[in-house]
């Protein structure tokens, strides 16, 4: 828990606002042919010249954060597309043009290894060791080697209470400011 909120805060901190975050739900890319939706269709195919969701977002916001949410649901060929971006800081779109990714911060969220994280929550060192084989079963070694893995532990009830209290306080402030109303305890 907290992965998406981390990415939202990072976009705000690094680039000045949540508008510098592009979220791509990777469960929409379960088929091999869906790569073209990310980078655009090649010449001669339907949709040629329209650009892809990912490449257009990077072209429009070259300094931003890209969240690839639920990456484990994407087709392996879709994931291969990111090797070049993570390795060289660039990727080719459907028309063969290079897209500069050097100033993009990519985040990939996944529930792979969740049980390993829960089982090793008290010992971060053994957690990393136990987590790697789970990730290696899914990601190709070349791609995995270009990632930093940050396990997120389940939030405690106390932490959840603090988060909820903070969100309610912000909501209370908005309601007071805009409508003269308040949230009651």
CATH number where 33 lies: 3.40.50.300
Domain membership of residue 80 as a residue range: 3-110
Q: For the CA atoms of the chain, what is the radius of gyration?
A: 19
What is the pLDDT, as a whole number, of residue 49? 63
pLDDT at 47: 61
Distance CA 174, CA 121 (A): 37
* Number of domains the chain is built from: 2
Q: Choose among 40, 135, 24, 39: nearest CA to 74.
A: 24
For residue 98, give every residue at least 6 positions away whose Cβ sits within 8 Å of its Cβ, in sequence order, or none. 90, 91, 92
The C-alpha atoms of residue 29 and residue 76 are separated, in whole angstroms, by 10
In a domain, 30, yes or no: yes
Q: What is the mean pLDDT of the segment spanning 127-141? A: 94
Distance CA 129, CA 120 (A): 10
The verdict on 105 and 15 lying in the same domain is yes
pLDDT tens figures, 12-54: 999 999 999 999 999 999 998 888 888 987 666 666 667 789 9
Same domain, 84 and 159: no
- Tell me if 81 is assigned to some domain: yes
Please check whether residues 20 and 101 belong to one and the same domain. Answer: yes
- The pLDDT mean for the chain works out to 90
Phi, psi of 69 (to 5 degrees): -85, 135
Do 7 and 79 share a structural domain? yes
Q: Could you tell me if 19 and 99 lie in one domain?
A: yes
94 and 14 in a common domain: yes
Q: Is residue 124 part of a domain?
A: no
Q: Is residue 9 domain-shared with residue 90, that is, in the same domain?
A: yes
Q: Are residues 172 and 88 in the same domain?
A: no
Write down the pTM of the prediction. Answer: 0.83
Six token digits for residue 123: 């010992």
Are 74 and 165 part of one and the same domain?
no
Do 103 and 23 lie in one domain? The reply is yes
What secondary structure letter does DSSP report for 153? P
End-of-domain residue from the set 77, 110, 143? 110
């Amino acid at each position: 828990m907290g992965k998406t909120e981390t990415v939202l805060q990072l976009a705000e901190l690094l680039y000045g606002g949540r508008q510098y975050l592009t979220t791509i739900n990777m469960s929409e890319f379960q088929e091999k042919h869906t790569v073209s939706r990310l980078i655009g269709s090649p010449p001669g195919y339907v949709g040629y010249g329209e650009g892809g969701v990912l490449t257009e977002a990077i072209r429009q916001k070259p300094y931003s954060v890209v969240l690839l949410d639920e990456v484990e649901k994407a087709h392996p060929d879709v994931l291969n597309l990111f090797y070049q971006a993570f390795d060289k800081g660039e990727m080719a779109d459907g028309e063969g043009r290079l897209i500069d990714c050097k100033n993009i911060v990519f985040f990939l969220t996944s529930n792979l290894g969740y049980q390993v994280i829960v089982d090793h929550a008290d010992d971060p060192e053994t957690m990393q060791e136990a987590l790697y084989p789970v990730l290696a079963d899914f990601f190709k070694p070349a791609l995995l080697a270009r990632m930093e893995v940050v396990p997120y532990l389940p939030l405690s009830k106390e932490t959840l209470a603090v988060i909820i209290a903070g969100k309610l306080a912000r909501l209370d402030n908005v309601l007071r400011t805009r409508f003269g109303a308040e949230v009651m305890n």
